[in-house]
């Protein structure tokens, strides 16, 4: 039975893991009879209002920070997976067949500093190590929506191919600056970098319907299934 590790960034699209993307990823994995284990780093993060309907700007940021409130990332991520979560420093690539990161602005705010620093972004140490160690173990790394920006920072030096939806956008430009090849993809498409074992799908970077989110997650996991079957 295949086992997929999933890194969460909180709970909610504006300051954590995007729920529709995350649950679509869970379902695509579960329908194959595989297991998944969720992980998250520990630490506090700034809460962003989900009632503010401000549109995302070109950097991808949206919503207003609730200055008076902070929450624990690990505890918030546990809400998404019914408490079945482990601290990210317990992750070992040898125990899993692949690593996956759903989207949501938590990837850009909590797992990295992309929202604040753009091309000068940093990635949280445990997240950086999980991605890099999985890559070095020659196991697939998958990411959705804005989460491929984390792969750009960690793996861009290797020239990996990713998608962030549109070929021309601020995130795409930053990813190229970090060394990535960036491909344009529709909401249900998958960018498959066979050489580097990286799979990405744009999800809500371009999608407008939840059905597109599931179809994109399903397509990504189907591609992953093909890769893993070839390894056997």
Give the residue numbers marked as catalytic.
Answer: 145
Closest CA to 224 of 196, 185, 198, 188: 198
Nearest to 141 by CA among 99, 88, 93: 99
Alpha-carbon distances, residue 28 vs 31, 50, 96, 218 (angstroms) = 5, 27, 17, 5
Q: By the 8 A CB rule, do 140 and 34 touch?
A: no
């Amino acid at each position: 039975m295949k086992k997929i590790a999933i890194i969460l960034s909180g709970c909610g699209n504006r300051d954590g893991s995007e729920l529709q993307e995350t649950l679509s990823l869970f379902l695509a994995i579960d329908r194959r009879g595989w297991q998944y284990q969720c992980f998250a780093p520990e630490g506090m993060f700034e809460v962003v209002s989900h009632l503010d309907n401000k549109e995302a700007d070109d950097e991808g940021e949206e919503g207003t920070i609730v200055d008076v409130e902070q929450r624990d990332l690990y505890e918030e991520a546990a809400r998404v997976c019914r408490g079945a979560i482990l601290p990210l420093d317990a992750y070992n690539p040898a125990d899993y067949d692949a690593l996956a990161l759903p989207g949501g602005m938590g990837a850009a705010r909590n797992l990295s500093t992309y929202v604040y620093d753009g091309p000068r972004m940093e990635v949280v140490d445990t997240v950086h190590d999980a991605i890099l160690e999985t890559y070095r173990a020659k196991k697939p790394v998958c990411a959705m929506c804005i989460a491929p920006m984390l792969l750009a920072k960690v793996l861009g030096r290797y020239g990996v191919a990713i998608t962030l939806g549109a070929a021309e956008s601020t995130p795409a430009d930053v990813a190229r600056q970090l060394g990535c090849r960036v491909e344009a993809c529709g909401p249900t498409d998958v960018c498959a970098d066979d050489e580097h074992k990286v799979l990405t799908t744009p999800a809500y970077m371009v999608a407008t319907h939840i059905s597109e989110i599931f179809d994109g997650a399903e397509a990504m996991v189907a591609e992953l299934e093909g890769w893993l079957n070839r390894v056997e």
